[in-house]
Amino acid sequence: MFRKLLVANRGEIACRIFRTCERLGIQTVAVFSDADVLSPHVAQADEAIRIGPAKLSESYLNIPAILAAIADVGADAVHPGYGLLSERRAFADAVGGSGAVFIGPPSGALEVFGDKIQARQVARSVGVSPPPGSEEPVDPEDGARLLAEAERIGLPLLIKAAAGGGGIGMQIVRQTADLERAARSCADRGRQAFGDGRIYLERYLAQPRHIEVQIFCDGHGNAVALGERECSVQRRHQKIIEESPSPAGFFSGQLGAERRARLFLEALSVVGAADYRGAGTVEFVADAAGQLFFLEVNARLQVEHPVTELVTGLDLVELQLRVAAGEALPRAALFPIFDGHAIEARLYAEDPAKGFLPQPGRLQQFDLAANLPGVRVDSGVATGVEVSPHYDPMLAKIAAHGRDRAQALERLLAALAACRVQLVGPKGPRATNLGFLQKLLTSAEFRSGQYDTGLAETVQA
């Protein structure tokens, strides 16, 4: 196992990783920008080192600064968390070149799955179907090609960035008149977020459900699927509520069990084609009839990993560390026992009534119900901390586990009702999405389990 681990990330995921390291006796190092001097992840690490000003490109995305920090503290391992540099092959290679171990998949897997078009080709090569779409990048300035692709695929369709993830840049196109504008917008966002303006087109499925499989592979030939997560409650193509297992009706009964087993095998076959190691998520989309299509592979730990941990009793960060250190997956991971149901809600400093506009400000009160039965809170902020406009405005992930879905939902709603959050900006109180989460979770559609990615649009902000 490792002696000293540096987390090349911030906020709640850094705090989450530090908890596992503390339990395992691994020394921890935080990196921080000028905006994060007072952030909890800085205080929770054994050591902390400044890497730059608030701007992302000059701090958490600054590879030379992070490499210098690795050398300064003598870290022998680096965990990238999620987002930021977590899926960038250049960073993984640079960490390896420094002599430290990158806690993540091999570089080849990062390269393959960092390109969604290439990932579609890999899936197809092992008999797993993605939605109909482009087989190569499409020039956003080539109107004739865009129109030809749209006519071949059919409307409505999605225009997606070939690099990155998280729905960044994604555009829904329902009429050909909007093609060129949407293509340019997607390409611009891809360049801004990932340094890659390539785009492709994909059929938009009616009433889609977003279902993903948590996989784990080691270097000893072992691979396992640790259940699925339902991630269909989204705003702006970003997940805000996740649960495991999925309540989708097509997973019920004997046929449902067979379909779930087939889904797991398909997920493992996709990552197996790329000599994968470590944690990963294979994402699928289901149409209204329940047919599942491959979307992409997120070659990292997911934001929503707590729901998988709650239903399996496994520590996914510990598994990441052990696999990266050359160990085989333990028996508890190879033969997981799934217990009950878990639901997670993401609490954001954003205003649902204003298009989910981020609400930076200072937290005058931040009391979350972490001591309620079956409730888990992961957060990277605290009372007195400034929520910076430079970073993602997520305040916490609040998850609840129960013997069944009804109990998990009851416990999550109780936890949200007990939250006390006061966020203040220069001109007075700022909004959060706390009330919106409660409306979503109490809606008839969510309670029934028969919802799709359009649910958030039907709830009054």
CATH number, domain with residue 78: 3.40.50.20
**C-alpha of 226 from chain center:** 16
Q: Where are the beta strands (DSSP E) in 333-419?
A: 341-348, 350-351, 357-358, 361-367, 375-379, 386-387, 394-402
Q: Is residue 358 domain-resident?
A: yes
Q: Find out whether 336 and 222 touch, Cβ atoms under 8 Å.
A: no
Q: Find out whether 95 and 70 touch, Cβ atoms under 8 Å.
A: yes
Q: Is residue 112 domain-resident?
A: no
Looking at the structure of the chain, the number of domains it has is: 3
Task: Give residue 252's identity as a one-letter amino acid code.
Answer: S
Q: Closest Cα partner for 209 from 166, 239, 169?
A: 239
Q: Closest Cα partner for 272 from 133, 136, 115, 112?
A: 112
Q: Find out whether 422 and 364 touch, Cβ atoms under 8 Å.
A: yes
**Domain limit, last residue, from 159, 177, 203:** 203
Q: Is residue 125 domain-resident?
A: no
Q: Are residues 150 and 267 in the same domain?
A: no
Is residue 202 helix, strand or coil? strand
pLDDT for the residue 165: 67
- Would you say the C-alpha torsion 134, 136, 139, 142 has a positive or negative sign? negative
Is residue 429 helix, strand or coil? strand
pLDDT for the residue 289: 87
Nearest 5°: the CA angle 112, 134, 229 is 60
Q: Is residue 313 domain-resident?
A: yes
Q: Is residue 228 domain-resident?
A: yes
Task: Give residue 385's identity as a one-letter amino acid code.
Answer: V
In this structure, the number of other CB atoms found within 10 A of the CB of residue 438 comes to 16
pLDDT for the residue 461: 72
Interatomic CA distance for residues 95 and 210, integer angstroms: 33
Q: For the chain, how far is it from start to end, CA to CA, in angstroms?
A: 47
Residue with tokens 């990963």: 280
pLDDT for the residue 196: 84
Residues 391, 186, 209, 11, Cα dihedral to 10°: -10
Residue with tokens 């600064």: 65
Q: Are residues 136 and 233 in the same domain?
A: no
Is residue 208 helix, strand or coil? coil
Q: Is residue 349 domain-resident?
A: yes
Domain hosting residue 285, numbered range: 209-458
Residues 183, 186, 191, 195, Cα dihedral to 10°: -110
Q: Is residue 341 domain-resident?
A: yes
CATH number for the domain harbouring residue 454: 3.30.470.20
Residue 358 pairs in a beta bridge with 350
Q: Find out whether 79 and 9 touch, Cβ atoms under 8 Å.
A: yes
**Domain limit, last residue, from 203, 228, 250:** 203
pLDDT for the residue 416: 98
Q: Are residues 19 and 87 in the same domain?
A: yes
Which stretches of the chain score pLDDT less than 50?
none
Nearest 5°: the CA angle 203, 204, 206 is 130
Which backbone phi and psi does 298 adopt, to 5 degrees? Answer: -95, 110
Q: 253 CB contacts (<8 Å, ≥6 apart)?
A: none
pLDDT for the residue 402: 98
Looking at residue 90, the DSSP 8-state letter turns out to be H
The pTM (predicted TM-score) of the whole model is 0.94
Interatomic CA distance for residues 356 and 100, integer angstroms: 39
Q: Are residues 136 and 39 in the same domain?
A: no
From the CA atom positions of the chain, what is the Rg in Å?
21
Q: Closest Cα partner for 101 from 165, 6, 170, 174?
A: 6
Q: Are residues 374 and 392 in the same domain?
A: yes
Q: Are residues 286 and 198 in the same domain?
A: no
Q: Closest Cα partner for 203 from 161, 149, 167?
A: 149
Interatomic CA distance for residues 341 and 243, integer angstroms: 7
